[in-house]
A and B are shown apart, each in its own frame.
Chain A
């Protein structure tokens, strides 16, 4: 059993070394003056997919988004479960159909609850 943990340990060492090697190489090349060093404001700014960055990344998000995120997760998980079921529908048969209905019914209860609690209104 130890050998199997050893393989995982090898992966761990590799995973730590992998990002460290380029950084170390960059520093070493700079020290030995092989890498040119010509910074300018555009080069040293944050890379935002080519856009000019606006403002600070550490802004406060309104807590209201949290409710929407939570509701999104509910329906996201529903889609994740229903896709494989829909693909394999013919093979699974009636039993899985009833199970999927029960699953949807449970989610529906949560949906009605969120609706009645006015979680979907922008207060």
Chain B
């Protein structure tokens, strides 16, 4: 047993950072107004740098948490997402929300939960990390506490989230019941000895686990909370929900199914494949009718979850790498798009799609980034979405999922329609009389440019990133 507490230095630093941010808000009221997002983002960036010290090391803490390249990748990934969300929500928190210290502190704490989900090699640790992330998100979704929509969204998310956690936990308890262990490695070796004695219990456990995690990543038919939670949450939290929450769900899904359930691949792959097909079709079709940008992004994210689940259905080293690559590209694109939406919302106070009209004249930089992000989401060449989707679909067909890849291609074409509708408002519709050019804050300009650079980096030169990811996902199947 290895009880090396230094493995958790990045998590300890994040805990300290969260306490620091809250303490600054409590004890130094003259400073708190505009500095907290920069303190939080700087701390997160430094911690991300520190966690690079574990690159190419493979070790674990008492077998429950594995510190390898996969964990390091997601550590850096989640911390950078949190830093971007902190920076992007500066104005929003100042203008509309109270308690900035708690806001940034909880974002940082939820990052610890997300990292734990990626790192866990034991069921209880995975479950506790999941709950840490979920509890933080329940609070953040209802953070606009004088806004009835935000309260409603928080309550719906809390009730359905608690329900899905209970299902997930029941599935884990059945797995413990039939295999006698909560460690992924021991579960895999117990399952490889034959499952005849408990095939029905195993099936129930897998159904419950997939349903529980399906709720967390919002896959059809477990997606009902998504549009309401996305619409009601403060807009920066919508961005956070659609990135870290989803990515952490997939990090856990890959670790759990790769490490523990890969030996009974045939028992669950059909379920995931069905959920993936339903998510792609329903998410992309319902998105066609949306007129609120947050609801549109909710259904678009459901469709994207379908593409990602395709990679879980035919789980292998190749598809896992393709999945994480697409996940990365999708998260960068999504953040870029949300930074544009947040900046536009800060300046105009509107979030309907028709309110984007005249963005080309009023804020050319935002309009350009909006176009790039939407093209990338739809999967057009040059942008991140095309090449990552291509690699993912190719990996899925290598595993024999031709029909899933077919649905993916068709629904990608459908998605182009509603993404282009947003662009039509931004580029073709003229601004109303008397609406002048807007001054976008420098922070938002910088974030937009940096994230668009990321979109083009993934889209034009993914080889480097892919080899890093390929090196990380090797550790999933040990």
* A residues adjacent to B (C-beta < 8 A): 1, 109, 113, 116-117
Contact = CB atoms under 8 A, between A and B. Distances in A.
A80 to B, nearest CB: 19
Interface string B297-318: 0000000000000000000000
Interface in B412-441: none
B22 interface: yes
Interface string B20-52: 001000110000000000000000000000000
B27 A116 contact: yes
A109 B26 contact: no
9 contacts: A1-B177, A1-B198, A1-B201, A109-B19, A113-B22, A113-B26, A116-B26, A116-B27, A117-B26
Contacts of B198: 1
A112 B452 CA distance: 43
Contacts of B26: 113, 116-117
Interface in B169-209: 177, 198, 201
Contacts of A113: 22, 26
B424 to A, nearest CB: 48
Contacts of A109: 19
A122 to B, nearest CB: 21
Looking at B26, B177, B201, the one whose CB has the most chain A CB atoms below 10 A away is: B26
A117 B27 CA distance: 10
B437 to A, nearest CB: 42
Nearest to A112: B26
A35 B32 CA distance: 74
Contacts of B19: 109
A8 to B, nearest CB: 13
Interface of B: 19, 22, 26-27, 177, 198, 201
Nearest to B201: A1
Contacts of B201: 1
A116 B177 CA distance: 46
B117 to A, nearest CB: 22
Nearest to A116: B26
A113 B26 CA distance: 8
Nearest to B25: A116
A117 B102 CA distance: 11
Contacts of A1: 177, 198, 201
B22 to A, nearest CB: 7
A2 to B, nearest CB: 10
A112 to B, nearest CB: 8
A113 B19 CA distance: 10
A109 B27 CA distance: 13
A79 to B, nearest CB: 23
Given A113-B26, A117-B26, 7 more contacts: A1-B177, A1-B198, A1-B201, A109-B19, A113-B22, A116-B26, A116-B27
A117 B26 CA distance: 8
Smallest CB-CB A-B distances: 7 pairs: A116-B26, A109-B19, A113-B22, A113-B26, A116-B27, A1-B177, A117-B26
B362 to A, nearest CB: 41
Nearest to B19: A109
A98 to B, nearest CB: 12
Nearest to A4: B177
B132 to A, nearest CB: 14
A27 to B, nearest CB: 37
Nearest to A115: B26
A107 to B, nearest CB: 13
B139 to A, nearest CB: 14
A11 B70 CA distance: 47
A113 B102 CA distance: 11
A5 to B, nearest CB: 10
B98 to A, nearest CB: 12
A92 B244 CA distance: 40
B201 to A, nearest CB: 8
Nearest to B198: A1
A66 B22 CA distance: 22
B179 to A, nearest CB: 13
A113 B101 CA distance: 11
A80 B421 CA distance: 59
B172 to A, nearest CB: 17
Contacts of B22: 113
Contacts of B27: 116
A9 to B, nearest CB: 16
A1 B19 CA distance: 47
A123 to B, nearest CB: 16
A119 to B, nearest CB: 12
A109 B20 CA distance: 11
A90 B201 CA distance: 45
Nearest to B197: A1
A111 to B, nearest CB: 13
A56 B151 CA distance: 31
A3 to B, nearest CB: 14
A53 B19 CA distance: 48
Nearest to B15: A106
A113 B22 CA distance: 9
A89 B401 CA distance: 60
A1 B27 CA distance: 58
A113 B99 CA distance: 13
